[in-house]
Amino acid sequence: MSENFGEYKILIQAGYGGYGQVYLVEKEGDKTKTGYSLKTLEYDEKDITRNDKKLFNKEIDILKTLSAQSDNIFVPKLYAFHYCFDKDKKDEEENSNKIFKYNNDNRPYYVTDFYSRGSLANYIFFEKLSEKHAKVLFKKIVEGIKFLHKNKICHLDIKLDNIMLEKEYNPIIIDFGASENFEKLPKIKGIRGTQQYISPEMWEEGEYDGIKSDIFSLGVVLFNLVTGEFGFDEAKARDPNYIYIKMEYYEEYWSYFNNYELSKEFKELYINLVAYDPTKRYTIEQILSSDWLKDIKNIDEELNEEIKQKLNSIYKIINEKNEQFNNISKIIESGGYNTKGININENQGYFNSDIEPKKISNDRININHFLKINGDLNPIDFMNRLTKQIENNFKDKCDIEAAEKNLKFTVIFYSNTKNKLGDCTMDIELFQYEKGRYLLEFLLTRGAISDYIHYFLKLKEIIKIII
């Protein structure tokens, strides 16, 4: 893989998406910024579809439109980009099928600001916010979505993971891969986004209003901010919680959340955002003038500073948790990074890039955390013993889906908590990077970061026993 994209040099991989990879990069000769974010398509050409190329170009176009607006404080600034094909050519069919020979000159990419404070998901899954603090953040997020809608863009993948925090802890909306210009496409088809945030009309796979779907996702974000959980798993009639919202049995719905002290104003706003009928959902203006938000129409500096201090305290907790992965024994070294937010200032949690794993089952290296194991292993036997130990230790509280000759498997952990519907799912994969040295990687694919850390530390103890 080329280390440079024009003036931008790759420092480290910082994440990945459905069809792209994200890197922390620096600009040659630029002393004013500590880093930028660069997104590009998958490195392996055979993994790129014609639709991927179209989506990537559309994402660039949307960012160009939004970042150029004089009142933009809500989305990243676009610094540089390179389309997947020549957009000036009329023959889009020929362009769309064009195969790239990846190098510095023609690999598609775009460069935006990098947000070292990470995503809002990182913070909320470690510690929920009071309604007072959540109001301020939510109001800013709603204003960000209002900015998108004013510019004819519906996001269609609003979630905590796609809301980054800049250094002053103001929310920034990212990832426009699922987005559409609703002026060009008034009615949208197809399921997009993330399970818990998807609107009921999107699940039904007919035409739907993108703005109304964004409002629904905002409702889920609201619930996340105050409870740290999801109010339902899927907005479908078969969901045991959402059925009460669909049927408008609100007293029964809230009985599941008696352990939270939620205000009447909060409940009213939430129900009017996640309503089954899109026509009954609040508009952006109704949200901003709701009883829950009306007392912070003008956010004073004192409250802003209070929230910054709160988020900064959570930020310190996140860094302390990351330190737990750096406890090194004689047998196992651990490290890695959290793809939801890299701390470039303290330089902690980075992937040890001098390790170059050799291919056992595949050559993908997107690591949340890893264990380095020294010694002679029979890889298949080791992974089989690991799956058995996980099953024994968690009994009926997990499912394991094996794949690729047992050198990679997915484990799904089920929570004991009645109302906690966001189960934790992670991929576990083994690589050999030199004789007698192995890399066991762990990748969070669904669920709360706090749960992932909890299970990772337990798995680390299990692995010490079976080596």
Pick 454 or 348 by higher pLDDT: 454
Distance CA(81)–CA(313), nearest Å, equals 36
The boundaries of every CATH 1.10.510.10 domain in the chain are 116-322
Residue 16: φ, ψ to 5°: -155, 160
Domain 1-114, CATH among 3.40.50.300, 3.30.200.20, 3.90.550.10, 3.10.290.10: 3.30.200.20
Topology classification of domain 327-466:
TATA-Binding Protein (3.30.310)
Most confident of 81-90, 232-241, 271-280, 454-463: 271-280
Question: Rounded mean pLDDT of the chain?
Answer: 79
Run of H or E including 462: helix 449-466
Predicted confidence at residue 166, as pLDDT, reads: 93
Pairing of strands 437-446, 424-434: antiparallel
pLDDT at residue 101 above 50? no
In the numeric block, the tokens 């190329």 are attached to 53
The alpha helices in 300-435, defined as continuous H runs, are: 301-323, 379-394
Predicted confidence at residue 445, as pLDDT, reads: 76
Pick 97 or 407 by higher pLDDT: 407
Pick 196 or 267 by higher pLDDT: 267
Pick 238 or 319 by higher pLDDT: 238
**Amino acid at position 120, single letter:** L
Predicted confidence at residue 389, as pLDDT, reads: 87
Under a CB-based contact definition with an 8 Å cutoff, are residues 39 and 141 in contact?
no
The boundaries of every CATH 3.30.200.20 domain in the chain are 1-114
**CA 140 centroid distance within chain:** 19
Predicted confidence at residue 394, as pLDDT, reads: 84
For residues 58-74, one letter each, b for 16 or more C-beta atoms within 10 angstroms of the residue's C-beta and e for the rest, the string is bbbbbbebbbeeeeeeb
Predicted confidence at residue 461, as pLDDT, reads: 78
Most confident of 13-17, 242-246, 333-337: 242-246
Confidence of residue 29 (pLDDT cuts 50, 70, 90): confident
Predicted confidence at residue 112, as pLDDT, reads: 95
List the one residue out of 169, 166, 227, 157 whose CA is nearest residue 196: 157
List the one residue out of 349, 360, 414, 415 whose CA is nearest residue 382: 360
Predicted confidence at residue 96, as pLDDT, reads: 46
Vertex 86: Cα angle to 98 and 17 (nearest 5): 65
Q: Which of 57-71, 283-297, 340-354 has the lowest mean pLDDT?
A: 340-354
Under a CB-based contact definition with an 8 Å cutoff, are residues 403 and 409 in contact?
yes
Distance CA(73)–CA(148), nearest Å, equals 11
Q: Which of 86-95, 305-314, 329-338 has the lowest mean pLDDT?
A: 329-338
% pLDDT > 70, the chain: 78
Predicted confidence at residue 438, as pLDDT, reads: 79
% pLDDT > 90, the chain: 39
Distance CA(384)–CA(403), nearest Å, equals 11
Confidence of residue 143 (pLDDT cuts 50, 70, 90): very high
Confidence of residue 391 (pLDDT cuts 50, 70, 90): confident
pLDDT at residue 192 above 80? yes
Predicted confidence at residue 288, as pLDDT, reads: 95
Predicted confidence at residue 415, as pLDDT, reads: 65
Pick 43 or 319 by higher pLDDT: 319
With a CB cutoff of 8 Å and minimum separation 6, the contacts of 337 are 12, 14, 349, 350, 351, 367, 368, 369
pLDDT at residue 335 above 70? no
DSSP state of 178: T
pLDDT at residue 17 above 70? no
Distance CA(357)–CA(143), nearest Å, equals 45
Predicted confidence at residue 224, as pLDDT, reads: 93
pLDDT at residue 45 above 50? yes
Distance CA(214)–CA(145), nearest Å, equals 8
3-state class (DSSP) for residue 218 = helix
Pairing of strands 36-41, 20-27: antiparallel
Residue 214: φ, ψ to 5°: -60, -40
Predicted confidence at residue 440, as pLDDT, reads: 84
Number of residues assigned to the chain = 467
Confidence of residue 406 (pLDDT cuts 50, 70, 90): low
List the one residue out of 135, 364, 155 whose CA is nearest residue 269: 135
Under a CB-based contact definition with an 8 Å cutoff, are residues 65 and 72 in contact?
no
List the one residue out of 352, 339, 364 whose CA is nearest residue 445: 339
Architecture of domain 116-322: Orthogonal Bundle (1.10)
Q: Which of 79-83, 236-240, 459-463 has the lowest mean pLDDT?
A: 459-463
As a whole number of Å, the CA-based R_g of the chain is 23
Q: Which of 115-119, 212-216, 249-253 has the lowest mean pLDDT?
A: 115-119
Most confident of 97-101, 105-109, 365-369: 105-109
Predicted confidence at residue 49, as pLDDT, reads: 73
Confidence of residue 346 (pLDDT cuts 50, 70, 90): very low
pLDDT at residue 421 above 50? no
pLDDT at residue 375 above 80? no
The boundaries of every CATH 3.30.310.220 domain in the chain are 327-466
Run of H or E including 173: strand 171-173
Pick 95 or 193 by higher pLDDT: 193
pLDDT at residue 301 above 90? no
